[in-house]
Every structure is written in structure tokens, then in C-alpha cells.
Structure 1
Amino acid sequence: MKLRIRHPNGASVLDSLSPDQTVQDLRKAIAPIVGISYERIQGGYPPKPYRNDNDTLEAAGIKNGDALAITIVDTPVDSAPAPAPAPAPAPAPAPASQSINPSPQQPTQNAPPMSSISTGNADAVETNGGLLALRTVPDDNSCLFRALGYVANRDTSITQELRKAVATAIEQDPIMYSDATLGQERTKYIDWIQKTSSWGGAIEIAILSNYLNVEIDSIDVQTGRVDKFGEGSYSERVLIIYSGIHYDAVALTPGLDCPEDFDQTRFSSGDESIVNAAKKLADILRQKRKYTDVANFTLKCNQCMKGLVGEKGYWTHPFCGILENASQYNSVLYIYIYVCVMIVYRVGGVYCDG
């Protein structure tokens, strides 16, 4: 199994252990990395220490790909502290006429290492377990599938597998996924969603929650709304951010300069603190206006010069010429050009997106 280790000296990858080995074996494997024989090992979110050295890694809940935080301690966590020594007698006061030259102050023992984490202007939120950060994926019409592939399996290349899973689920359940629900004939939708040019939305997220066996929480940047798919059905959740026309992944990282190998993307579905942190991340993005307001963006038709507001205004405007004759006020709409080449649909409050 592959474990990501964050320790005072930096970060490392440990891949020499198997699930049936013990926490004590894990300690022995970590000791040469951190250069000391005793350490506190924490994992999960929020981080909790692993205290029973006889537990197997599997029994302790440590899984392949987990990120563990290592803290150096002088004595075992559960051992009793040594009695405090008797106080030394106070030194005699120096004569008033004598100048006092104190020796340099000794460094405080066992002080925690200074954090090397710096958020700067990055899109990240500090948590007890590290930084919750945005992991952007390409604008290639498959952003939803790439984001879900990353947070669920740490693999952005499984887009076609996920598209196929959606198509299969729709094909096997004509009652749940009727023509009316899909907005077009089922057979056409099944063919359409498997094309690399097709965008996914709420229907796809609901299906993939079941396929990936994980709760999927989608946080809308503009409104701060959290749409939960598979809520109450799974022990773990993953997080994605929706900006109006694009999805990105969300991950917990020890530091913004750490490689993505150290990202944690699965969290306990019983802990809402990580969702609250994701909402704060959406707040940061909203303050920076990193979203597209699909209801209120402005356009004008270059043929009749009429101003158009939002997606509804675009689609209800009489056709005045070639599609390129729809241009934008204030140079904002270049990211919204997709309305000229494909139909956008909305299901359950979440727009489809690429």
C-alpha cells in the first residue's frame, strides 16, 4: 500500500507496508524517515492519533493512498509524565553598581516546528488537517468527469469509463431516466453523453455517486449552496466546486507547495467541518468573482444591437444572422461562448457544464 507521510522534515511516500501489518510496523518504517524512534501518527479528518500499536493497518482504518501526519514527541503519548524536579534556589541579587550581562537565551525545548504553509493569494482555506485547496481541471468538455475521477480515484483519465457508467445506468432504468427527465429521447441521450464534447450535470453526478460508492457534495460558488448526492448512503464523501459553467476538484493538502501525491480527497461523511471549509473556499472564489452568472450575463446582438440578459435572453432573441453576431458587453463573455455551439440544460438546480 502507498501512504503519504507529512513530517517535520517535509513529506515522503511510504510504499513498503501491507494492510495486514501493524501500527507498530508503521512506526518502525517511519522512524528512519523522521530520524527518531518515537512519533505520534495521526490520520483522517479531522486528524486523530493511532494509539494501539497492535492494530493492523486495516483495522486502524488506514487505507492505500491515505495521508498521515507525523508529530515528534519525547515520550509515548500514554505514558505518565516524570515528576517535576525541585526548584533551584533563587540566585542572590547582583549589586546595584554591577552591570548584568545575561547569557544568550536558550532555545525552548520541544517547541513545535514553524509552519511552512503559506496561503498567499492562493485559493485555499486553513483547517486543522492542512489546507483545503482548489485543484483545477481542464476546460475540455469533460471537467465534471475529470474532477470526479480525481476526488474519487485520484485519476483524471477515467472520463470515458465514467461516461460509459452513466450511459449504462440510464439504459438499465427507463423509469427513473425517462425522456421527460432527460429532456430528449433516451437513446439519443445515451449516445450523446458518451461523446467527449458533451458536458455532464446533476443527472451524471447522481449516477456516479452510486457508481463510485461515495457521497458527492457540489458547492456552488455564486450562491454557496451545497448539493449533496448520495447523502446518508455512504461512509465517505468527496467535494467538487461549481462555478456556473465549470467543475473543479477540492483536496486537502499539507501545504500549497506539496505535490498532489499528498492530497487527501476522501473524507468522512459524518464530519461536516470539511464541508464548512469547502463553503469558505467558495466564499473566497465568490469574492474574487471566479464564477459565471448564467442568469444575468450581458450580450448584445451585433445585427440589431439589442441588449440581451442571461441565457434566457440569448435563446429567446430572434435569429438576426450568423451566431457570431452575438457579442458581449464589458469583455466578460468569452468564457460563455459555449452557448453558441451547444444547448445547455438544467436539472435539479445544477447546470450541466464542461
Structure 2
Amino acid sequence: MRVRIRHPQGSITLTNLQAEYTIAQLREAIAQAIHITTPQSIRVSGGYPPKGFTDDSATLQACGLRDGDTLNVTLTETTNVPSPAPVAQTTTTTTTLPFDPQTMEAVQMRGGILRVRHDIQVANELRKVIAACIGENPAIYSDVMLGQERGKYMEWIQKSSAWGGAIELSIFSQHFGIEIDSIDVQTGRIDKFGEGAYAERVLILYSGIHYDAVGLAPTIDSPPDFDQTRFPVGDDALLPAAQKLAEILRKKHKYTDVATFTLKCQQCQKGLKGEKDAQAHASATGHTHFVEYE
């Protein structure tokens, strides 16, 4: 089994793993490859949104890992990770484009390049997660909390035109067991979901309409599957870098001004302008299904 490993100092590829290896054995293999003497300080996660693998006795096959997968590695201790030796068989060498802060929508920081990743392929699965959670917890997600009848909300949120918000991010935080930090591109405001409850976090940027993931890429031209998307909450350099990334996008006006954008109510086809107009229309009619249009 060949598995890519994205770690704090770059990336490696392990080529001799077996499906029956346990997570403990995987950590030992990673520790040897990146020259760490304490395998127990290694935290491994994978998938999207990424989940941590915490059961040391579980096999790679039982965890759903397959040949060619990419895993993210973080360290629970402050440890300097030396660059892998160039002669090691598990090391991959990458040529990279020069980083140009004037033209690229990215922030260079220790360990890689922080950038926005647009991934619409997982949207349908995430919508199903929301609907399932709401369906399983009627006492928490009542009609009053949702602003409409639960069944209609569950049906609506699974449509591609639906907008997610605080309710959905709160659900994701609990479902995936991770803090979610959302940064508003237009205002720079940071909203945290699951703050203080989890050891790791993911970052997203809110552009007024859409939420996009933030990933730490080893190089400016590396593919998304090499990204690290799960970070220790104690990483003090990460959030300022993400705010700087939001500032770059704000200066390029890569956001939608919700006070002035135009909408259409899908239920009555009425044209609306701005979030305030949409809220007034929803209060007067009970309609809540809007789409943006030019």
C-alpha cells in the first residue's frame, strides 16, 4: 500500500504499508520516516473533512484507508522535524513554482503555503450529514430554531442552491469532532464553532455566499490532496496567516456584499436586493428559499 504523508516540514510517501497494519504501526512507520523518536506524539488524520485516527489497534483497512490516499500528520508536542534525508526511499522530491505574494492569493508561512481550496465534490455528502443530524435531534433542532418546519428545512438544505450558516457549521463541528474557525472575507470577523472543546481545528473563509476550505500546501503548485487541513488549536501562527489571506482576497474584492447583492425568491420569484431585503421578505411571507442572480 502506497500512502502519502503530509507533515509539518513537507511531504513523504510510504510505499511498503500493509492493509493489516494497525494505526500504531502506521505511526511508527511515520516516525521513522520523518526522524521522530516518539511515535505517540504523532497524530494522524485523513479524509474530508478530515477525521483523526485515534484507535491504535484498528487496522488501516478497517479505517477505510486505501492505496494512494493522503494523510495529514500533526505533532502533539513541540518537536523540530528535520527534513527527510534525500537518499531515503520514502522521500519524494518536488519542483515548485516561485512564490509571488503580489499575484498569488496565498500566504507563505513556515511549513508551506496557506491558500483557499474550492471543493464542491463533497458538498452533497455534507448536506446529507446536516439533514441526518437535524432528523435525529428534534429536541435540539426544532421548528423554532430552524425558522421553519423541520422536514422542509431538511429537504431544502440538501439542494445545491441552499445556503449554510451557523447552524450547519455547529453541526459539522460536533459531527467531525473539530473546532471550525470561519473568517469573513469582507469584514475580517472570526466566528468559532466548538471553541475549547477540541484539540484540532479547520479553517474556512466566508465570501458572503460561499464557504471555502483553507489548506496548507507544501508548495504553491502542489495538488490539493497534499494539503494539510487539520491543525492544532495551539498553533499561534495559523490564524493570523489566515486573516492575512482573507485580507488579500478582500483587497481584490473576492467577496459578495450581502447588503447590495441581488436575489430571487424561489418560492414566489420576487426580486430582492441585499440580505436585509431578503430578511424582510422572509418575515412577511415565510419564504426562505433564495438564490443569487445578476
1:199 Cα deviation after fit:
2.7
CA distance in 1, matches of 2:273, 2:163: 23
CA distance in 2, matches of 1:268, 1:242: 21
CA gap 1:62/1:185 in 2 versus in 1, 3 angstroms: closer
CA gap 1:310/1:163 in 2 versus in 1, 3 angstroms: closer
1:61 maps to 42
Confirm or deny: 8 A CA contact 1:221 1:241 kept in the other structure: yes
CA distance in 2, matches of 1:249, 1:273: 18
1:273 Cα deviation after fit:
2.1
Tell me the secondary structure at the aligned position of residue 237 of structure 1: strand
1:249 Cα deviation after fit:
1.1
Confirm or deny: 8 A CA contact 1:127 1:277 kept in the other structure: yes
CA distance in 2, matches of 1:298, 1:71: 51
2:83 maps to 71
CA gap 1:202/1:23 in 2 versus in 1, 3 angstroms: closer
Confirm or deny: 8 A CA contact 1:4 1:261 kept in the other structure: no
- Does residue 1:119 correspond to 2:120, yes or no? no
CA distance in 2, matches of 1:165, 1:24: 33
2:266 maps to none
Tell me the secondary structure at the aligned position of residue 24 of structure 2: coil
CA distance in 2, matches of 1:7, 1:168: 35
1:22 Cα deviation after fit:
8.1
CA gap 1:2/1:176 in 2 versus in 1, 3 angstroms: same
Confirm or deny: 8 A CA contact 2:204 2:212 kept in the other structure: yes
Confirm or deny: 8 A CA contact 1:5 1:14 kept in the other structure: no
TM-score by structure 2 length? 0.66
| Structure 1 residues 6-85: aligned runs within 5 Å | 12-17=12-17, 18=21, 19-21=23-25, 26=30, 30=33, 41=34, 51-52=36-37, 55-56=38-39, 59-63=40-44, 65-66=71-72, 71=83
1:174 Cα deviation after fit:
2.8
CA gap 1:117/1:14 in 2 versus in 1, 3 angstroms: farther
Identity, % of aligned positions: 47
TM-score by structure 1 length? 0.56
CA distance in 2, matches of 1:22, 1:288: 43
Confirm or deny: 8 A CA contact 2:185 2:207 kept in the other structure: yes
Confirm or deny: 8 A CA contact 1:6 1:70 kept in the other structure: no
The C-alpha deviation readout for 1:250-291, integer Å capped at 9, x for no partner, is 000111111222210000022232111111100111111111
- Does residue 1:169 correspond to 2:101, yes or no? no
For 2:44, the aligned partner's letter is K
For 2:130, the aligned partner's letter is V
- Does residue 1:3 correspond to 2:4, yes or no? yes
Structure 2, unaligned stretches of length 5 or more?
Answer: 46-70, 75-80, 86-94, 264-271, 282-287
Tell me the secondary structure at the aligned position of residue 13 of structure 2: strand
- Does residue 1:187 correspond to 2:151, yes or no? yes
CA distance in 1, matches of 2:157, 2:171: 13
CA distance in 1, matches of 2:240, 2:160: 33
- Does residue 1:343 correspond to 2:275, yes or no? no
- Does residue 1:265 correspond to 2:229, yes or no? yes
- Does residue 1:231 correspond to 2:195, yes or no? yes
1:126 Cα deviation after fit:
1.3
Structure with max Cα Rg:
1
Confirm or deny: 8 A CA contact 1:7 1:70 kept in the other structure: no
1:7 Cα deviation after fit:
11
Structure 1, unaligned stretches of length 5 or more?
Answer: 31-40, 42-49, 74-113, 138-145, 147-155, 300-307, 318-340, 345-351
CA gap 1:287/1:4 in 2 versus in 1, 3 angstroms: same
Cα RMSD, aligned residues only: 3.6
1:25 Cα deviation after fit:
5.0
1:133 to 115, 123, 126: 115
